[in-house]
Structures are given as C-alpha cells and as structure tokens.
Structure 1
Amino acid sequence: MSEWIDVGTVDDVPLLGSRVVQAPSGDIAVFKAADGTLFALRDRCPHKGGPLSQGIVHGHSVTCPLHNWVISLASGEAQGADQGCAHRIPLRIEGSRILLAASALMARAA
C-alpha cells in the first residue's frame, strides 16, 4: 500500500470551505483557508462530535456548527478556554493533487 492516498485536487476544496473524504477510520475534512493553505482533520468536533466540515472557516481555524467551539486547523486543538483535539491528518500537495497519509486513513479514530 502507498504511504499517501490521492483524494482529489486542490481546486476540489472551496476557498473558506471543506471537502469530506470518507475513510475506513471515519470521515476526514479537508479545509482550505483564505490564503489557500490546506489542512486535514477528523470530521468530528472534540466537544460533542459535530461535523467540523460544516463549520465556518476563518483564518486558520474552523468554528463547529453545533456549539461554536473554535478549532485550530493547524493543530486540531480547541482554542480559548475549551479543551480537546480533533486529530490532524498529515497532508501534502503534489502538483495540484491532495495526498493524505494512508496510515491515518486506516487507523481507527481514538
């Protein structure tokens, strides 16, 4: 098995939005910030499991649509007084293709 799995193109992810990638370990959300930076996190808020992919992207953060927790896209850590982590998925870009770490897609979410 390859160490990286191609999940689409950079253009498949809308600016200030996300695209969901279904994986055996659970859904992964790939986000694109206003500056074009891409991030990948498990699509579950650490608070109550809300779908981060449906949240509002601002700066390098996303706000969960359920209870307004702000999650860092770079680290997956909750911001402010909130505590918890949406696991970050290693991502790299080759040309215009988005590649996610195969091991993270197969490993069961904690």
Structure 2
Amino acid sequence: MTRFVDIASLEDIPRQGARMIRTAAGCIAVFRTADDRVFALDDRCPHKGGPLSEGIVHGHHVTCPLHNWVFDLNTGTAQGADEGAVRTWPVRVQNGRILITADLLNRNKAA
C-alpha cells in the first residue's frame, strides 16, 4: 500500500504552474493544471537536463524550457521524440492539500 505525505497546499502552486521539491530520489516537479489536476515527474528532461518545473504547462502537458520537448503529465512520455520519458510519481489532492508518495522521502539508494 502506498503511503503519502503532505507537501503543500493546492493553492501554493498556481494554475498551469509548477514547483520543484527536493527529495531523497532527486528533484521532483509538481504540476497543477488549469483544471486543478496535480502531477509529479522527475524534474530533469532526458534530452539536455532542462528543469521541467520551469517549463510551460498546457493542458496535461509540459514543454521543456530548453529545447521544447513536450511531456505528457500522465505518463511522462515525450511526444514526437524517438526516445524520452521521465518518471512519474504517485500524487493526489485531498482536502486542498497535495500529497505525494512517501517513497520519495524514504528512498534507500542501495540496490
């Protein structure tokens, strides 16, 4: 069973905006869409390492600020690219609060 931890109020992220959080798994971009859905992806574009949290959110997509790769917020897959995806993380909104998987905070780096 996935445990979740409270990281912010939904109002802390503007509609069609993002915030970056630092975790044991690395930097994570948390996005809020115009319809108040929330998504969490690794904050590093696989193309040139661009910070996705600084990208443009449109619909359920984000465009990397460096070279315009477009990622689906649901799947993390880059559109129109032969290769390219970022990891998505479980996130949800409950009572106006954003909750993200506790795995990000407790991640053991050992394999």
Is TM > 0.5 for Structure 1 vs Structure 2? yes
Residues matched between the structures, number: 107
Mapped contact 1:52–1:62 kept (Cα < 8 A): yes
Mapped contact 2:62–2:71 kept (Cα < 8 A): yes
Which letter maps to 1:69? W
Provide the alpha-carbon RMSD of the alignment.
1.5
Q: Secondary structure at the match of 1:27?
A: strand
CA distance in 1, matches of 2:27, 2:106: 11
Which letter maps to 2:47? H
Alpha-carbon offset, residue 21 of structure 1: 1.2
Mapped contact 2:23–2:104 kept (Cα < 8 A): no
Aligned to 2:12: 12
Residue deviations 1:33-78 (CA, integer Å, cap 9, x gap): 1111111111111212110000001110000001110011111000
Q: Secondary structure at the match of 1:6?
A: strand
Q: Which runs of 5+ in 1 are unaligned?
A: none
1:57 counterpart = 2:66: no
Alpha-carbon offset, residue 17 of structure 1: 0.6
Q: Which runs of 5+ in 2 are unaligned?
A: none
Distance 1:81 1:58, change over 3 A: same
CA distance in 2, matches of 1:31, 1:40: 6
CA distance in 1, matches of 2:46, 2:62: 12
Aligned to 1:92: 92
Q: Secondary structure at the match of 1:36?
A: coil
CA distance in 1, matches of 2:87, 2:97: 22
TM-score (norm 2): 0.88
Structure 1 runs of 4+ off > 3 angstroms?
104-108
